[in-house]
Structure 1
């Protein structure tokens, strides 16, 4: 739901059922309590968001008694709030509904008269009319399922079958060229590795030959001694 600073709950009350709303005001924002909680030490009543914001600035400091200890709001206060009925926040857009306190949040989230923005032309529209508008809006981007090209709906007529096939061919050629380059690079790497292995084998063979020659010389050395 919209924050109370944007649209006061007090100003939207349509039915009070004899409830004294002055007894149901938040000490911090002085608006009607919304999702209330209380201080266990002084019974001060606060909107849950109001007291959370307050405690960020003044940890543990109750606005009334300076010693905040949270507890659930009393059932009596909850029952009094439940008797109130409100005009929907979207009443200026045409919503005729009068809603009870407990159902207000859910209604205003789902309300068809809520303004939303078209993802294409960014025009503000009623939620209930948005889907129909976006199904026809020329500024909505579409993506071809065959060639993956993106274009505005207003330009859809220019994306012909011939255009699509040409794009698919271009992509295929590009992919083929990329694949060929990758294969050539891999072959070059393998060729380089193979040449290095040949050099390593030749080096090892040469060393083996040197060791063999040294081994053959060993008996002659011992004979001289």
Structure 2
């Protein structure tokens, strides 16, 4: 929609008048074939109504082909002098058309100009809404906006936390898979022809969750038969192969432990080394397995094949 011609100082050339709205061009564009010029909003509305022709001479017009008018037309428009939009509110300024937007941003008579609340709530309020401004409602809206923002940020933090936990879980699974691949290099303890056993061990180890021992002093070195039976049942329930379960349970007592764990004295001397163990939790029990294939870095004095079962009174996480 063009500018009202009555707002301009002096006469306006007819060549600067939009043939659709009858106002002075606002953001003019030109149809390339017939070279007629229109306000951009006027011609777009015309085309939206299903017309595909120039409203002046009916030649074909495509909205995608509209271009800027010649520079001379733009210069003539820029030199026109126009009254401020806020003339009805008391502004008497007459400015060049190309300076109108800059003037409106600072015009003191602009009813939408933001001003500080006179009651001291800190809000910026449009001038024409100042008398109806309610500080309490405004502050409540600010609080609601802040609460919504805090909730949104909290949701993002939770989502990021969930993603990190999932990534950590995937990393742990990858580590387990890498460790299980080392089963192909277990040496003479398992015959090379016994590929089925290696596959069973790998499958079982991957399904065990990593464990952390927070109280190594709670280790039970001589579990009784009842406790060993309970742990053996937990191993069986975890789908541990029968032959492997039997061998692990053989290593659940200090009489079968390697030299570094064989006595209370050696265990006390080596307590600082326990944190280097890679342990897997026996599901639902205060017990872990220390598999030889995951703990070759500990040396023969701290490991046994195929692994150790360590039972605790407490401290397994």
TM score, norm. by length of structure 2? 0.37
Aligned twin of 2:39: 47
In structure 2, the partner of 1:152 is none
Match of 1:67 in 2: 60
Equivalences for residues 144-159 of structure 1 within 5 A? none
Find the aligned partners of 1:138 and 1:210 in 2 and give their Cα distance.
74
- Contact 2:34–2:59 (Cα < 8 Å) also in 1: no
Q: 2:12 and 2:85 mapped to 1: Cα distance?
A: 22
Assess, with a 3 A threshold, how the Cα gap between structure 1 residues 73 and 9 changes in structure 2: closer, same or farther.
same
Counterparts of 1:96-175 in structure 2 under 5 Å?
96-116=92-112, 127=113, 130-133=115-118, 135-136=120-121, 138-139=135-136, 140-141=138-139
Distance 2:232 2:26 in 1: 81
CA contact (8 A) 2:18 2:39 kept: yes
**Matched-pair contact (CA < 8 Å) for 1:21–1:32:** no
Does 1:10 pair with 2:12? no
Change over 3 Å in CA distance of 1:110–1:199 after alignment to 2: farther
2: CA distance, partners of 1:200 / 1:73? 85
Please say if residues 37 and 48 of structure 1, whose CA atoms lie closer than 8 Å, have aligned partners that are also in contact. yes
Larger Rg: 2
Tell me the alpha carbon deviations over residues 122-163 of structure 1, each in whole angstroms, 9 at most, x when there is no partner.
xxxxx26x224373463331779xxx99xxxxxxxxxxxxxx
Taking the aligned partners of 1:199 and 1:96, their CA distance within structure 2 comes to: 95
Distance 1:60 1:205, change over 3 A: closer
> Would the aligned equivalents of 2:236 and 2:245 in 1 still touch at CA under 8 Å?
no
Alignment-derived partner of residue 33 in structure 1: 25
Per-residue CA deviation, residues 12-54 of structure 1 (Å, 9 max, x unaligned), is: 11x23xx543331111111111121222222212011211222
Unmatched tracts of structure 1, length 5 or more: 117-126, 150-192, 213-225
> 2:78 matched to 1:85?
no
Q: Which runs of 5+ in 2 are unaligned?
A: 122-133, 148-208, 212-230, 248-317
TM-score, length-normalised on structure 1?
Answer: 0.50
The CA deviation at 1:84 is: 1.5
Aligned residues: 145
Q: Partner of 1:174 in structure 2?
A: none
Q: What does 1:181-200 correspond to in 2, within 5 Å?
A: 200=234
Partners of 1:27 and 1:44 within 8 A in 2: no
